[in-house]
Structure 1
Amino acid sequence: MVEGFLAFLLYLATIMLRLRLSKAARPSATVVTSAALVCLVALALCLLFGDAVPFWSFAATYGFLTLCFLMVFGAVYKSISLRILLDLSRRPGHRDGYDAVMARYIVEESYQSRLSVILENGYATVNSGHYALTERGRRLATAVRGVQRVFNIETSG
């Protein structure tokens, strides 16, 4: 368990450095790829400097701590509610009107920013002001619909 905990500390240090040093990489990709890479490096270090690697206790400890962190990171990273709270804390009097909040977070955050991500990832194209799914976008939409059916998810947001 000690090895798994130390590997998790190495993971935290790694992502803190990577997130600060690399402005081009997406934070979500950075934390996920770092989790796998640090796991492999930590196992190699255990083999290099130790007699035997207690693999299952290492994997359980490192995996549990890393997944807990990833859940919290994902919630903080993508939470529009937290962004609204932070934005309100920066406003004079710590308040703002409903219309301004709706315009910033529903239109800008929920629609325009996400459309640009969809375009950047090649899931859709824009032509004459109209958005159209690419073949890649159709495959992803079909897969998502299938997963929603399996888990009886009628709406998502």
Structure 2
Amino acid sequence: MSFAVGLIAAVAFAVLAPVLQFVARARAWSLAPVIVLAIAAVVAHLLGVLLGVLILPQFRYWDAASIFGFGVMGYVFAFGAVYKSVSLDILLGLAERPDRTAPLSDVVEGQVPALFRGRAKILIDGGLVEQVDPRFAATAAGQTMAKRIARLRRAFGIGDTGLYDFAD
């Protein structure tokens, strides 16, 4: 039964997370979407533990937590795959056209610059980058973040993925 409690908590997270994301956008909260996901995970986890303790005489926390953790990680992985994905934005832009096609120049010259301006704005608003004349410069916070990311990439064995290698 503890596994069922974990599943109920995971479902609660899957319902709560998009609701909190909607509320955060509607109320213009200054929280990053990943922080909103973390809040939803903590709330759903606490509700699951409370439910397990109240209804099960032999509540097995780690059984419930394993199912909950698996569900949350799956949700977060899917969320991260589609959140602010440049590739998916290009695909969606093509799919929204009446003939579902566009010349590459339209995508490169029209859609891509807007997508990258949006990404640059996120970095600027986050205090990681500043615009100096027509150029961008990493702030001290940005340099610190870049070093952390580089360490994480090395720790996870992430190198050049070749996704943006247009050498042909």
What TM-score results when the alignment is normalised by the length of structure 2? 0.79
Q: Does 1:99 pair with 2:105? A: yes
Which residue of the partner structure matches residue 131 of structure 1? 136
Which residue of the partner structure matches residue 30 of structure 1? 36
Alpha-carbon RMSD: 2.3
Structure 1 runs, 4 residues or longer, greater than 6 Å off: none
Distance 1:35 1:79 in 2: 23
**Residues 9 and 85 (structure 1 numbering): CA distance in 2 closer, same or farther, change over 3 Å?**
same
Query: How big is each residue's C-alpha offset from its partner over 1:67-121, in whole Å with a ceiling of 9 and x where there is no partner?
Result: 1111111112233332222221211211111111123443222x31221111111
Distance 2:109 2:121 in 1: 17
Distance 1:35 1:50 in 2: 22
Which residue of the partner structure matches residue 58 of structure 1? 64
Which residue of the partner structure matches residue 45 of structure 2? 39
Which residue of the partner structure matches residue 9 of structure 2? 7
**Alignment match of 2:126 (pick from 121, 128, 144):** 121
Distance 1:132 1:80 in 2: 22
Counterpart amino acid of 2:129?
A: A
Which residue of the partner structure matches residue 146 of structure 2? 141
Structure with more relative contact order (C-alpha pairs < 8 Å, separation 6 or more): 2
Is contact 1:123–1:135 with CA below 8 Å preserved after alignment? yes
Query: How big is each residue's C-alpha offset from its partner over 1:39-92, in whole Å with a ceiling of 9 and x where there is no partner?
Result: 123212322343342111101100011111111111122333322222212112
Is contact 2:5–2:51 with CA below 8 Å preserved after alignment? no
- Stretches of structure 1 that go unaligned for 5 or more consecutive residues are none
Q: Quick check: which one's helix share is greater? A: 1
- The structural deviation recorded for 1:10 is 0.8
Distance 2:110 2:44 in 1: 37
- Stretches of structure 2 that go unaligned for 5 or more consecutive residues are none
